[in-house]
Amino acid sequence: MAANRMSPVELRAALSLSSIFGLRMLGMFVILPVFAIYAEGLPGGDNLTLVGIAIGIYGLTQAILQIPFGWWSDRYGRKPVIYVGLAVFAAGSFVAALGVNIYVVILGRMLQGAGAISAAVMAMTADLTRDEHRAKAMALIGSTIGGTFALSLVLSPWLNAVIGVPGIFAMTGVLVITAMGIVYAVVPDVPEIPRRGNARGLEQFVAVLRDPQLARLYYGVFALHAVLMALFIAIPLELRAAGLPVGLHWQVYLPVMAGSFVLMLPGIFGARTPGGVKTVFMACIALLLLAHAALPWLAGGVWAIAAFLLIFFTAFNVLEAQLPTLTSRVASGESRGLAIGVFSSLQFFGTFFGAAVGGFLYSRWETAGVVIFDAVLLVIWLVVAAGTRPPASRNGGQRGV
């Protein structure tokens, strides 16, 4: 029975690393519902293009720097790279808090994104957990991010009224400094992984790009987050059109997120064999596609849209947990950080791509345009994912690629 439970070190690693994600993302999510209104009062904030850059440049620098940070974590160790990334993130938060115009805020947001530690943290999670418990640890991280998102929707109006947007930026910096303390005092040290010399760097990079199993997972995370961002161009507007004021949208999001976390558990913990993992994986992609096919018919009804979101986030949460888990198992130990860096970069590029294309399509064809765009990405993913071969446990000596 003990083998079916996470060890104390694994549990401590999963909880502490999840808290690092949560502390960083709380500040980032809380700012989104109120920043555009705040920016109207800044010099240069009347330019909506600059406001969009201020919001989006965080994701751009994240996408660019995930690969270097993951690579550096393979060569110099996970904790040192995480410390550096958190310090840069905190500095950017304080710069944004002191921003006297939109350009300074853009600089601060750019620095926040430059603290691109997601790949290093996920690689560290993989280092500190056994294969049979890695999905649980990744699911905990995904649940923490989702829970933080839901919590931020509730806290945002209140924090804006109490401390304002500059105060939220400063609060984010303090939370990130707290996360540095958690890394030092709580996160277990990673067992030493043999590192190879600089000559291996380019060879490793080419290897993680050419691996066909990793490539399938890279496309998957790109498509998943492109679909999410395009969808959330349409959903808030559809809820408003259904008669729900923007300030009350949290009343839909919060129960949906809570319900989806419960419904995702059988998909995460019920699939114990490689065949079972693939079945759940493919079923969730298909469920996303079928839900999108029904979305155009849901306009005008808050409860119907809530039901769609419950189905969407149940499948999304399972895939969000499985994708990094599979990536960490397919990649070898010495290049795991690099592989997850590529994975994280494509996740953020998917976020940019989905938001940009989704906004363009919605402005012209409303929900139908977004649905068609998402459906194309999901159909391609179904085809690509058909060749996925989930690795068997390394305890069995099979990599499964």
What single-letter DSSP state applies at residue 40?
A: T
Domain-located, residue 398:
no
Shared-domain flag, residues 92 and 176: yes
Where is the domain boundary, 188, 205, 240?
188
Shared-domain flag, residues 240 and 142: no
Where is the domain boundary, 188, 217, 237?
188
- pLDDT at res. 38: 78
Mean pLDDT of 26-39: 73
CB atoms within 10 A of CB 369: 19
Q: Are 114 and 88 in contact (CB under 8 A)?
A: yes
Q: Alpha-carbon distance 371 to 156, whole Å?
A: 29
- pLDDT at res. 396: 41
Query: Would residue 300 be called left, alpha or beta, if left means φ above 0 and alpha means ψ between -120 and 50 degrees?
Result: left
- DSSP for 217-245? HHHHHHHHHHHHHHHHHHHHHHHHHTT--
Q: Provide the percentage of residues in the chain whose pLDDT is more than 70.
A: 83
Domain-located, residue 400:
no
| Gyration radius of the chain's alpha carbons | 20
Q: Alpha-carbon distance 81 to 317, whole Å?
A: 27
Shared-domain flag, residues 248 and 117: no
Where is the domain boundary, 136, 164, 188?
188
What does the pLDDT look like over 312-348, one tens digit per residue? 888 888 888 788 778 877 776 566 667 777 887 888 8
Shared-domain flag, residues 157 and 291: no
Shared-domain flag, residues 239 and 170: no
The boundaries of the domain holding residue 163 are 1-188
The CATH number covering residue 346 comes to 1.20.1250.20
- pLDDT at res. 270: 63
Into how many domains does the chain fold? 2
Q: Which residues contact 283 (CB under 8 A, 6 or more apart)?
A: none
Shared-domain flag, residues 165 and 43: yes
- Highest mean pLDDT range out of 56-65, 124-133, 304-313? 304-313
Domain-located, residue 16:
yes
Q: In Å, how far are 21, 320, 326, 365 from 141, measured between CA atoms?
A: 7, 10, 15, 36
- pLDDT at res. 192: 59
Q: Are 305 and 238 in contact (CB under 8 A)?
A: yes
Shared-domain flag, residues 109 and 257: no
What does the pLDDT look like over 196-210, one tens digit per residue? 444 455 666 677 777
Q: What is the mean pLDDT of the chain?
A: 79
Q: Provide the percentage of residues in the chain whose pLDDT is more than 90.
A: 12
Mean pLDDT of 121-148: 76
Q: Are 256 and 310 in contact (CB under 8 A)?
A: yes
Q: Alpha-carbon distance 31 to 25, whole Å?
A: 10
pTM of the model: 0.72
Question: Token pair for residue 233?
Answer: 């161009």
- Highest mean pLDDT range out of 106-115, 237-246, 259-268? 106-115
Shared-domain flag, residues 72 and 143: yes
- pLDDT at res. 399: 38
| pLDDT above 90 (res 88) | yes
